[in-house]
Structure 1
Amino acid sequence: MVILDNGVELKNFLDIIYQTLKAIKSKDLALLRELSNRTIHGASISKDTDSVSIAVIVYSLSKIIGRLDYYEEKQFITFMSGVTKNLESGAIFLKQKNFSKFRSSIKNITSSIDNLSGKLKLYIQDIFREAKINKASRLYEHGISREETANLLGISLWELSEYVGKTGISDVDLSITKPIKERINNTRELFE
């Protein structure tokens, strides 16, 4: 599904990217999480992979930026510089409505993890994996089936089920209704 053809969603994506760049610069973790949640809410409606990819990246960045012990490492600086450049170029491609190049810029962010080494590489890989699972649980919470959610994010049903079980999302009883007598009385009031 190509949701970006919709002008409103295109503006929303651009806003999210610009706000993400601003949050990276100011190290605003709360804003990054809020942007990720906003994006995943849109993804739950449209079920598009672009929204999901952005949500995972933005949420991952909120976790990565929170780790001050990596800030001085050269490969961390290079990684974050690449993230910023790819987000900036992604925004340019979106403005031009060149969606394939936009997706390529976004994919470059996750691909750049392969250029890292040592503990930093493992840490960032884990963060992105956890972000996928976290965002999958949020999609499931919004009513998308586990299987569809797992496929959308490229994770296993087992990983999603395990996480959902820990969070208690699956324990929410959505079938709670008013007692029958109360519903009958409400119906009668409608016709009075």
Structure 2
Amino acid sequence: MEERVKRDIITVIDNLLPLLRRTPVDAERLKELSNHTIHNASIYQDSGSVKIAIVIYALYKLKLRGKDCPKIADHLKNIRAMLKQGRHEEFHRATNTAIQYLSNIDKKIRLYIDEVIKSAQIQKGYKIFDHGISIAQAASLLGISQWELRSYVGSNIPRDLIPDRVSFSERLENARRMFQ
């Protein structure tokens, strides 16, 4: 596992643990962390990043539905310790155990896993598109639909690429100039 991936996962867990101690849990902050980890999973394409993204997204969904996960902090501390010590196999086992724990609380965990993976694929497709590859090719490369990718691309156009609005009078004046 790359060092920067490892550091980022540790930082995310360090930010997550205090959130879990709060009552009620700050769902917006949990969502931000979830989005951050999904973004990292799409960039690094690392199984550790994907698993952490799944854990945090599942936690977010569970907390939104008012479900309690009393032992998840212990699981996260264990995951962090394994990662910090460089025990990668134990880290992967610990993340699998955390996912299993969450799936015992909510049977919809499989849906959350699929959502995280799909979101990471779409974000990766956007990055490919951003580098000049067509939407059709990017979608085909990643096995996602063009519609999903177009929807994401359309909602993430940088503001400086959106032209300023032209007033009605300016449009009328431009039209008159064209026909003179």
Shorter-chain TM-score category? 0.5 to 0.7
Q: Which of 12, 15, 31 is residue 11 of structure 2 equivalent to?
A: 15
One-letter identity of the residue aligned with 1:169: Y
2:74 aligned residue = 85
Q: Which of 135, 152, 168 is residue 169 of structure 1 equivalent to?
A: 152
Q: Which runs of 5+ in 1 are unaligned?
A: 72-76, 150-156, 177-192
Q: Report the CA distance shift for 1:148/1:102 in structure 2 as closer, same or farther (over 3 A).
A: farther
Cα deviation, residue 22, structure 1: 2.0
TM-score normalized by structure 2? Answer: 0.65
One-letter identity of the residue aligned with 2:11: D
Paired residues, what number?
A: 148
CA distance in 2, matches of 1:49, 1:113: 18
Q: Considering fraction of residues, name the structure with more helix.
A: 1
* Cα RMSD after superposing both structures: 3.1
Q: Report the CA distance shift for 1:114/1:14 in structure 2 as closer, same or farther (over 3 A).
A: closer
Percent same amino acid among aligned pairs? 22
Q: Which of 46, 53, 64 is residue 48 of structure 1 equivalent to?
A: 46
CA distance in 2, matches of 1:19, 1:163: 34
Give a deviation string over 1:98-157, Cα, whole Å, max 9, x none.
1111111111122235535xxx424x43333333323332232232854665xxxxxxx4
CA distance in 1, matches of 2:46, 2:97: 19
One-letter identity of the residue aligned with 1:98: R
CA distance in 2, matches of 1:22, 1:148: 39
Q: Report the CA distance shift for 1:30/1:114 in structure 2 as closer, same or farther (over 3 A).
A: closer
